[in-house]
């Protein structure tokens, strides 16, 4: 492999480590404040971050492998994808049931202030990661890395949902907004879970951006 490609793969690994570390810290903080402030959208956002850590470990393994052998998935990646998909589905079930129950009892969070803070930080961080992941992926002409960059956009969408739900509650005091935010997070988590199982089954990377465009066209 050429020296310039070796350097690019090192950059890709660094970006993956940053992603894993950030999601781990974000998950811990979000779950803590989600429980303390009784906001289901922030709690769900935090658990989603933990699942992304598992996915990030799979991406890290993929980077090591494709550097030497190519982009075909091995059993480790397939297992990681299946675990990721299962975790997302469990999250979907828990968030959906809790959000519906909260709407029924008219539950209100103590505050969604930390949801606003965390979501803004996440939007900035994910935007930077997407930019550099895409840049490295294109430089290496790697479909797998470009797909990973595109799929990172889902984390950005979740951050926007959390921000909207958190700001909406602070402005209106209507508890249902927090629950609706949780349901939207559950929806995107379901899509992530489905895509993880599809990747494990076919051995191919889905280009989330292309899939979104195809769905819009349909």
Domain interval for residue 98: 3-217
Residue 216 above 60 pLDDT? Answer: no
- pLDDT value, residue 71: 55
Residues 6+ apart with CB under 8 A from 187: none
Give the chain's domain count.
1
- Convert the pLDDT of each residue in 123-146 to its tens digit: 999 999 999 999 998 998 877 778
113 burial type by CB count under 10 A (0-12 exposed, 13-18 middle, 19+ buried): middle
Asked whether the beta carbons of 63 and 12 are under 8 A apart, the reply is: yes
- pLDDT value, residue 116: 97
Mean pLDDT within 45-54: 93
Asked whether the beta carbons of 156 and 133 are under 8 A apart, the reply is: no
- Convert the pLDDT of each residue in 144-180 to its tens digit: 778 778 778 889 999 999 999 999 999 999 999 999 9
First to last CA, the chain: 41
**What's the CATH number where 117 sits?**
1.20.1510
Asked whether the beta carbons of 166 and 116 are under 8 A apart, the reply is: yes
Provide the pLDDT confidence category of residue 189 given band limits of 50, 70 and 90. Answer: very high
More confident residue, 3 or 121: 121
**Percent of the chain residues topping a pLDDT of 90:** 58
Asked whether the beta carbons of 95 and 48 are under 8 A apart, the reply is: no
Minimum mean pLDDT among 25-34, 59-68, 92-101: which range?
59-68
- pLDDT value, residue 217: 46
> What string of H, E and C letters represents the secondary structure of 136-162?
HHHHHCCHHHHHHHHHCHHHHHHHHHH
């Amino acid at each position: 492999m050429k020296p310039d490609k070796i350097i690019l793969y090192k950059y890709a690994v660094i970006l993956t480590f940053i992603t894993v570390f950030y999601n781990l810290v974000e998950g811990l903080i979000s779950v803590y404040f989600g429980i303390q402030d009784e906001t289901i959208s922030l709690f769900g956002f935090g658990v989603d971050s933990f699942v992304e850590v598992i996915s990030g470990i799979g991406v890290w393994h993929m980077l090591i492998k494709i550097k030497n052998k190519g982009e075909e998935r091995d059993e480790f990646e397939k297992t990681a994808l299946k675990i990721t998909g299962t975790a997302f589905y469990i999250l979907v079930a828990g968030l959906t049931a809790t959000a519906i129950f909260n709407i029924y009892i008219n539950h209100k969070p103590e505050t969604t202030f930390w949801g606003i803070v965390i979501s803004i930080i996440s939007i900035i961080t994910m935007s930077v990661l997407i930019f550099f992941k895409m840049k490295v992926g294109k430089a290496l002409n790697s479909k797998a890395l470009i797909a990973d960059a595109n799929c990172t956009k889902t984390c950005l969408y979740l951050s926007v949902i959390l921000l909207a739900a958190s700001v909406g509650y602070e402005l209106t005091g209507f508890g249902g907004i927090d629950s609706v935010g949780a349901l939207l997070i559950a929806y995107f988590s379901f899509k992530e879970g489905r895509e993880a199982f599809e990747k494990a089954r076919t051995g191919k990377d889905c280009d989330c951006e292309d899939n979104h465009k195809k769905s819009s066209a349909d």
